[in-house]
Structure 1
């Protein structure tokens, strides 16, 4: 068995330790600056683990399935854009996700869920194929009520316990905004 010389192992080990420490230092320094930022990619990874989701509406008469979430922030925009593949079903059946839903929303922090929630979501696009205008209007109302419920109860991103444990003493999560393509969470003292 061939052994690696110590001179080759030590630099590699040191680099590995430094890289592991950098992520922690980044979190601490973010809070030390009284804010922390999240990229759309971080939000996307969180959403990918939470979908597809099926929601029952009207006492189970209608189901709405949301799948393939896509989070983005347009350059110069102060709102998060979310897009989903959409499926509608009736009487307990799940509809195939052949539709499309896009919304724009601000974000707010909810201490009860330790998460970032939609704030005043606005439906931008709503497409369901092969439906009459009456169904489309009724479905739009159902989707709007679903969005309002989702914004109230479901976080788009949940803040990590380790990150919250590093809050400076006497401070709390304050304003959440979108600046220069990232979500910025500020602290209040």
Structure 2
């Protein structure tokens, strides 16, 4: 009897996990039937979790920044997402690494070359890296801006699966990307 109960509990847990994973894919695939693809905050967060930590060297390696622990949110009523990162800043010859965090808000754009959703015109909301200003002649905010420009150009916040793109209705392609009602909406045209 106990073995049967354990089996039923294990089967129920596996079924629930499968259903939840299916909901994520279903959310994207149902958009294929209409004129949009929908992505949720958890989908983007999982992608980001696998993409970090990231190292950025500037000025020929004289200054470097390491981004870790990305935290993505989609604030209610906003047409931009918010990203918070932990950051470590170091300079050649400096003994200590300054650690802190920064936050940004950004819209998203689709880049066909990477099949990804990239930051579009990110705005720094806050930078808190104690002591880093003394390490950097241009200041921490300028370093963060430089890192953001490079990241936005080269690295997607989320990469759309090739299978999803291959199932787009005939003649449809990716159009505008919007953030609305707590989700990312990629319009098909």
TM-score band by shorter chain is: 0.7 to 0.9
Indicate the residue corresponding to 1:87 in structure 2.
88
* 1:32–1:93 CA distance, 2 compared to 1 (3 A): farther
1:24 is displaced (CA, Å) by: 6.2
* Superposition pairs of residues 51-70 of structure 1, within 5 angstroms: 51-70=52-71
Q: TM-score scaled by structure 1?
A: 0.82
Indicate the residue corresponding to 2:99 in structure 1.
98
* Superposition pairs of residues 1-189 of structure 1, within 5 angstroms: 27-91=28-92, 96=97, 98-132=99-133, 135=136, 137-188=138-189
* 1:29–1:98 CA distance, 2 compared to 1 (3 A): same
CA distance in 1, matches of 2:154, 2:168: 24
1:132 is displaced (CA, Å) by: 4.6
CA distance in 2, matches of 1:23, 1:72: 17
Aligned length: 176
Partner of 1:109: helix, strand, or coil? strand
Q: TM-score scaled by structure 2?
A: 0.82
Partner of 1:33: helix, strand, or coil? coil
CA RMSD of aligned residues (A): 2.8
Partner of 1:164: helix, strand, or coil? helix
Residue pair 1:117, 1:157 contacting (<8 A) in 2 also:
yes
1:143 is displaced (CA, Å) by: 1.2
Q: Name the larger-Rg structure.
A: 1
1:23 is displaced (CA, Å) by: 6.7
Partner of 2:139: helix, strand, or coil? helix
* 1:181–1:92 CA distance, 2 compared to 1 (3 A): farther
Partner of 1:89: helix, strand, or coil? strand
* 1:22–1:134 CA distance, 2 compared to 1 (3 A): closer
Q: Which stretch has the larger CA shift, 70-79 or 139-148?
A: 139-148
CA distance in 2, matches of 1:134, 1:147: 19
